[in-house]
Amino acid sequence: PVCSMGNSTSRLYSALAKTLSSSAVSQHQDCLEQPDSSRLDPIDPKDLLEECQIVLQKRPPRFQRDFVDLKKNAVSNHRPIRVMQWNILAQALGEGKDNFVQCPMEALKWEERKCLILEEILAYKPDILCLQEVDHYFDTFEPLLSRLGYQCTFFPKPWSPCLDVERNNGPDGCAMFFLKDRFELINSANIRLTAMKLKTNQVAIAQTLKCNETGRLFCIAVTHLKARTGWERFRSAQGCDLLQNLKNITQGAKIPLIVCGDFNAEPTEEVYREFSNSSLNLNSAYKLLSPDGQSEPPYTTWKIRPSGECRHTLDYIWYSQHALNVNSALGLLTEEQIGPNRLPSFNYPSDHLSLVCDFSFNQDPDRLL
């Protein structure tokens, strides 16, 4: 049922409601055909947040997560750049394939789960948003986020597992969004990752942006590597291919780099070491939350499947440590907040936690190379 909104927000609610009835979207839509959202009116994020909260009024409130200040007295002469990384859980996989045995099907209903995802994004107001497992790009994220001022890019997997699910919404893939009033797009590359010289089903997007405030260039990339145990060498090969692409795009680290992704790899895996030891001089931002600055969080995903409980660290935000500072990072949910049934849940829409960092440019990056 559609709640009465009053005149001031009824137009906005009708836009949200259209994206709620996503089953009406044609299954045969060309995934790379970009709809024209430029003619649609801008949305006030506060209004959209209010609409989401009305849809979610029977659900428990959002968890409180706090930012941890990591500045160490560094002085920045510009507004920080907030980057959000999140595997949002493809709707088709959540309902049809992932078998979250402790999560009621009602908690996975797209009409509400989509509002939980939007609420999380609106709460943290990222300047750049990197998402994986997006299978509602054309009917939800592109129409709404473009009206919030983001430039939107989507690159689907060549053969998405979502397509095996009955009544799916098309393929899932990686998506990137950046605020057009903060950045100018200089270059964009959609990368189909290779392994052992073979093209794979995993993809990445890499965009070179110019920060309007500082005039500085930087590259932002999003990826989602192959899942499952037994595929460690394959992930390692995909990581090498991605790094080689990023070396070319950043001219060998001349352009600062941020890489967001669900790597499907614990810090003990070879692909993690490749990124740590790369000539691009990358560090993992969330290590800075640990007491010694050397350890990754204990988990970024936590779920229960028929095979048992899975608690892993798989999601990362890598950054050029010679050129960028991490001003702050969003703390993770505690075990108590997550609860005994783990994720996803009525409280939280995905089996992966969102990661959010505020970055600033170093004043003299070349000196540190």
What tens digit of pLDDT does each residue of 284-317 get? 999 999 999 999 999 999 999 888 899 999 999 9
Q: Would residue 174 count as lying in a domain?
A: no
Instruction: For residue range 242-257, list pLDDT tens digits in order.
Output: 999 999 999 999 999 9
Alpha carbon distance 64, 333 (integer Å):
8
Which structural domain, as residue segments, surrounds residue 224? 101-165+180-361
Q: Would residue 242 count as lying in a domain?
A: yes
Cα distances (angstroms) measured from residue 281 to each of 30, 148, 207, 254 = 39, 34, 19, 11
Considering only residues 126 and 14, tell me which one the structure prediction assigns the higher pLDDT: 126
8 Å CB contact between 100 and 94: yes
Using DSSP's 3-state secondary structure scheme, residue 35 falls into: coil
- Confidence grade of residue 32 (pLDDT, cut at 50, 70, 90): very low
pTM score, whole prediction: 0.90
Q: Would residue 94 count as lying in a domain?
A: no
Pairing state of beta strands 128-134 and 81-87? parallel
Instruction: For residue range 336-351, list pLDDT tens digits in order.
Output: 999 899 999 999 999 9
Q: Would residue 256 count as lying in a domain?
A: yes
Q: Would residue 59 count as lying in a domain?
A: no
Mean pLDDT of the chain: 89
What domain count does the chain have?
Answer: 1
Q: What is the CATH number of the domain that holds 244?
A: 3.60.10.10
Helices of type H across 88-196: 91-96, 110-124, 142-147
- Confidence grade of residue 72 (pLDDT, cut at 50, 70, 90): confident
Phi-psi region of 230 (alpha: psi -120 to 50; beta: other; left: phi over 0): left
Q: Would residue 36 count as lying in a domain?
A: no
Q: Would residue 144 count as lying in a domain?
A: yes
- Confidence grade of residue 36 (pLDDT, cut at 50, 70, 90): low
> Kind and range of the H or E element at 301?
strand 301-305
Q: Would residue 285 count as lying in a domain?
A: yes
